[in-house]
Copies of this chain bind each other. A is one copy, B any other.
Amino acid sequence: MNMSRVRFSSEVSTDEDTASHQDNYHVEVYDEAPIVRGSNLRVVQDYNDTFMEEPDILAQYDDFHTIDWVRDRQRDRTRFRRMKRLKHGTIWERIKQANDAWGGWLVVFLVGLSAGLCAGVIDIGSSWMSDLKIGVCPANFWFNKESCCWSDDTAFDGSDDDCKQWKTWGEIFTGDSNSSASLYVLNYIVYVLSSLGFACLAVVLVRWVAPYACGSGIPEIKTILSGFIIRGYLGKMTLMVKSMSMMLAVAAGLSLGKEGPLVHVACCCGNFFSYVFAKYHRNEAKKREVLSAAAAAGVSVAFGAPIGGVLFSLEEVSYYFPMKTLWRSFFCAMIAAFTLKYMNPYGTGNLVMFYVEYDTPWKLFELLPFVFLGAVGGIIGAIFIKGNIWWCRKRKNSRFGAFSIAEVLLVAVVTAFLAFPNPYTRQSSSVLIQNLFRQCGPEDKSELCEYITNNKTINVNDPRYPGAEAGDGVVTAIWQLLLAAAFKLLITIFTFGLKVPAGLFIPSMAIGACIGRVVGIGMERLAFSNPDWLIFSSSCGKSINACVTPGLYAMVGAAAVLGGVTRMTVSLVVIMFELTGGLSYIVPLMVAVMISKWVGDAFIKEGIYDGHIHLNGYPFLDSKEEFTHTTLAADCMRPRKNDPPLTCITQDGNTVGELEQLIEESHFRGFPVIVDQESQRLIGFVLNKDLRIGLKHARIRNEDIVSASKVYFTEHSSLYSSPGQAVHLSLRHILDVSPIQITDKTPMETVVELFRRVGLRQTLVTHNGRLLGIITKKDVLRHIATLANQDPESILFH
């Protein structure tokens, strides 16, 4: 058995068909030795099959490497065709084939299910632990406050202090249930201490068990989805630690949300289940389809917004999003939302988190304050991004970064200490948002709804209700809300980036909701004081008091700040409207988000996630940013001026030993294969790794292959080796005979476009038909960084 006669069989006849008729190229095409057909075909097949039995080795990328989408897509289609042939095979083969066909749906189903379950557990756990800071349910200590009060028949509902079953820690320790200063202080101390404990536990878990569990995870997921490998980032350990420490961090009262991290958790589920199906496990490009769907499921469970989740995945995180994936992502998001709904963690039985229903529609003149809110949101977003990035850079570049545990504890103590006195910061951010979104009802006794009405039995339909004059509560609320917004903005700048899981959807929304509510109250009072102004009288008529709904302003403000921070657009509007169930408020939301993005872009071009991607130097080729420079491929290509020439392999003439030495000595990922050094005509590209494995296998399988054996990459290797010589080895089968080539004059904008759209890992550069150099994704990213006056070496590529 002579392994040297291996060649890639299927292509030969095709080549003959198309090339032979062109007489003018004829001589060149057949400058290799003619083929001898015959009994060696069996050997070829055999060898290829053996080689193909180890697809894992060929498929796997190293950590921190970029994936080659073109190659992975080709591999998937090859796998698909092989599968298809099984249709006429044995029953077992047919089952395998059916499993393969349904695998895509099954895996997203499982991902959706598990994402929903994780979200439910995290919701329940964090709400229980949050309440544990304030008190406990002595009868059923595993109940949170709401469940505890629901289990108590004497209580009217779960709100505030009507509930007898629930005891604050002060009440338990002192046995005293009357409000007193000492009780307040005791509760305060317990609150701060337990916050500290939770925070400590959270950061220790992250620090010692799974360091990847910190942060929101969205920048990293964007990078992974764009075709980068970060091993362990979506691992089982990360999943568990992230879930646990997320509950703890939320319970610690830190100014962070669990919504962003839920995307990371869902992606971990996606990664886990894609291991079950070979077609995803062994193909990084296919795996990213599952991860896109998982990201959609993450947002879906975070906000109960399946459509918004899909759009988020499409707009914000995904890179390669074929239409087939759209439908599967939607399915996945629905299953996740449905699972969560059946778990019913909010106890409302409602998928919608902050359900609102306002009695009065919004008026056209209100677009003006909405535009204002949008501008404010954009400015706040820009302040947040600049502040946060500045602080994170400071932390990264100074010795301060080493004290991550101390930092978390410090922030937790400061947060707890400052948050407790203000009722709007004491309650959890999501409860705050819910309260701010609400419109005042006749039964409402909260401060926000303290309006002066002459008569307590006043009817809701009475035009005097509920506008009227603002009571003391409302006045107090205004400055408390403003303080709360300022405090939250400041503390969130220092919180996002700590070594705990931290999302910023909810904190940003809370900031926006506070400001929005204040603006809303202001508008309400303006309308009440000046009912005869044209804009009010024309739109509101007699019902001047019920004309402005401050809750709607809170909603719009929340969207504006979130838009300013994340720079999301369509997906944000859809998430907001799914979150609130208010289909009729799309226009206000859209106006605010649009203005917010424009204003924000004027100050700082990138959103918080892109900011963190740049900060951490992830190799992310943004598909939204336009490449506007006039450089050419030749400017980006390697080798550069004064570099040694490009390392190429000629199609024949190299020995096994030479190639082994080349692999050993060079740090390149792959080598172009050329006809000969003189003409520099390209015939293909071979990966370093493939070459290494190919040579190793050849040596193992055939003892005749020695260091002096000649290696051929030609289509048809000369069959007969001279008696005295070593046998030949053909490595045609590991040669990528279809590398993408561009000319050196190609504008970089087209090159970037190619890299983005086709998902290249490298492209070869030719000049007048001769190979001139190579451009890898790394080169493109460095080139872009150089043009943007950034340090090209800051990009993380190992």
Which A residues are closer than 8 A to B by beta carbons?
10-11, 14-15, 17-25, 28-29, 70, 73-74, 77, 80-81, 84, 306-307, 310, 314-315, 322-324, 326-327, 330-331, 334, 338, 351-352, 569-570, 573-574, 578, 581, 583-584, 586-587, 590, 594, 623-624, 626, 628, 630-635, 637, 639-643, 645-646, 675, 677, 679-684, 737-747, 749-750, 753-754, 757-758, 766-773
Q: Is the CB of B310 within 8 A of A80?
A: no
Q: Is the CB of B745 within 8 A of A738?
A: yes
Known A326-B315, A628-B80: A19·B634 in contact at CB below 8 Å: yes
Measured in the bound complex, the distance between the Cα atoms of B330 and A586 in whole Å is 11
Nearest-Cβ distance from residue A485 to partner chain B, whole angstroms: 27
Please tell me which one of the listed residues B22, B583, B643, B770 contacts residue A581 in the complex, with CB atoms under 8 A apart.
B583
Nearest-Cβ distance from residue A130 to partner chain B, whole angstroms: 28
> Which residue of chain B is the closest to A714 with respect to CB atoms?
B768
Q: Is the CB of A634 within 8 A of B737?
A: no
Measured in the bound complex, the distance between the Cα atoms of B114 and A701 in whole Å is 72
Nearest-Cβ distance from residue A108 to partner chain B, whole angstroms: 12
Q: Is the CB of A15 within 8 A of B634?
A: yes
Please tell me which one of the listed residues B19, B327, B634, B768 contacts residue A681 in the complex, with CB atoms under 8 A apart.
B768
Q: Is the CB of A675 within 8 A of B573?
A: no
Please tell me which one of the listed residues B15, B25, B750 contacts residue A738 in the complex, with CB atoms under 8 A apart.
B750
Nearest-Cβ distance from residue A71 to partner chain B, whole angstroms: 9
> Which residue of chain B is the closest to A646 with respect to CB atoms?
B22
Q: Is the CB of A352 within 8 A of B741?
A: no
Known A586-B306, A753-B758: A769·B766 in contact at CB below 8 Å: yes
Measured in the bound complex, the distance between the Cα atoms of B753 and A773 in whole Å is 24
Q: Which residues of B contact A570 (CB under 8 A)?
A: 310, 326-327, 330
Q: Which residues of B contact A330 (CB under 8 A)?
A: 569-570, 573, 590
Q: Is the CB of B749 within 8 A of A739?
A: no
Q: Which residues of B contact A628 (CB under 8 A)?
A: 77, 80-81, 84
Please tell me which one of the listed residues B10, B17, B631, B767 contacts residue A19 in the complex, with CB atoms under 8 A apart.
B767
Further 20 A-B residue pairs, CB within 8 A, beyond A326-B570, A681-B768: A14-B635, A15-B745, A17-B634, A17-B635, A18-B640, A18-B772, A22-B639, A24-B645, A24-B680, A307-B586, A334-B590, A338-B587, A633-B738, A682-B743, A682-B769, A684-B745, A738-B742, A738-B750, A739-B743, A741-B742
Q: Which residues of B contact A630 (CB under 8 A)?
A: 10, 81
Q: Which residues of B contact A737 (CB under 8 A)?
A: 743, 745-746
Q: Which residues of B contact A741 (CB under 8 A)?
A: 741-743, 766
Nearest-Cβ distance from residue A774 to partner chain B, whole angstroms: 12
Q: Is the CB of B25 within 8 A of A634?
A: no
